[in-house]
Amino acid sequence: MIERANMNSREPRAIRYWGVQMGTASGQQLTAGRVERREPGAAQPPLPPTAMTRRTSFSLPPDTPIQEWSRIGHQINALSESSSWWLGDWLIYGQDKYPNLYKKAIEETSLDYQTLRNYAWVARQFAVHRRRATVSFQHHAELAALAPADQDRWLERAERFGWSRNELRNRVRASRRLGSGEDDGTDPTLRIQVTVPLSQKQRWMRAAESTSETDFVAWVVAVLDGAAESAVPAGGSAG
């Protein structure tokens, strides 16, 4: 449990941890300000009492050893990675437990209700046992509108090949286009032919096989979409 001073104040707010356990999406426990990993030998000692944690700052003594500094960074990252899941599950609890009161309670805090609703919607699409700690909440959000079997299939691929959220998005979009043809009269489908040396095509195919389970054409489309998004973000224009 995290207690924050005056949620509506703009002053820096100190955060202090109490001895209540919280499960994270990665099967970790937060206990008295401590993240303990369930994997053997990975238990983490608590944050040092000399650390100063406020809503807009974090400071450590100048003589903090690098090993301790590194451990604290991993701990903070674990908390950050889990916070979207926690807030989503927290709102779901309020919606189910206090259907007539939870909105008023949220209005009395600085929490943004629409953001919380987005977190809760994603959380409802993935039962706890289907959430994957090795990919981010944003990966799950990209897939939340899909059928559960498709969600699991794409999560497995993202996990196996180390795809970023944007790469996952591009590959899902490419798969949809190839499956539907997108020939509904609003966005005509074109056939593109490219002449390249055989050695170059073979190299591309090896790259596709090593980074995904999708077919070669889907891989090419995803790579081109990724390059286009980097050069011209969605809604933008070149130059």
- pLDDT for residue 190: 63
For residue 16, the model assigns a pLDDT of: 36
pLDDT at residue number 31: 38
Band of residue 38 on the pLDDT scale cut at 50, 70, 90? very low
**164 within 8 A of 146, measured Cβ to Cβ:** no
How far from the centroid of its chain's Cα atoms is residue 137's Cα? 3
Higher-confidence residue of 32 and 68: namely 68
Residue 55: what pLDDT?
Answer: 83
Q: Each residue of 55-91: pLDDT tens digit?
A: 889 999 999 999 989 988 988 888 888 899 999 999 9
What is the distance of C-alpha 105 from the center of its chain? 27
Q: Can you tell me the mean pLDDT for 176-182?
A: 64
Per-residue pLDDT at 206 exceeds 80: no
Q: State the virtual CA torsion across 169, 175, 180, 181 in degrees, nearest 10.
A: 100
**Per residue in 223-238, pLDDT tens?**
887 788 777 765 555 4
Q: What is the pLDDT of residue 19?
A: 31
Higher-scoring residue by pLDDT: 227, 36:
227
Q: Are 24 and 78 in contact (CB under 8 A)?
A: yes
Q: What is the spatial distance between Cα 211 and Cα 223, in angstroms, rounded to a whole number?
A: 11
For residue 6, is it left (φ>0), alpha (ψ between -120 and 50) or beta? left
3-state secondary structure the chain: CEEECCCCCCCCCEEEECCCCEECCCCCEEECCEEECCCCCCCCCCCCCCCEEECCEEECCCCCCHHHHHHHHHHHHHHHHHHHHHHHHHHHHHHHHCCCCHHHHHHCCCCCHHHHHHHHHHHHHCCHHHCCCCCCHHHHHHHCCCCHHHHHHHHHHHHHHCCCHHHHHHHHHHHHHHHHCCCCCCCCCCCCCCCCCHHHHHHHHHHHHHHCCCCHHHHHHHHHHHHHHHHCCCCCCCC
Q: Which residue has the tokens 């944690």?
A: 53
- Most confidently modeled of 90-94, 107-111, 173-177? 90-94
The pTM of the full predicted model, rounded to 2 decimals, is: 0.58
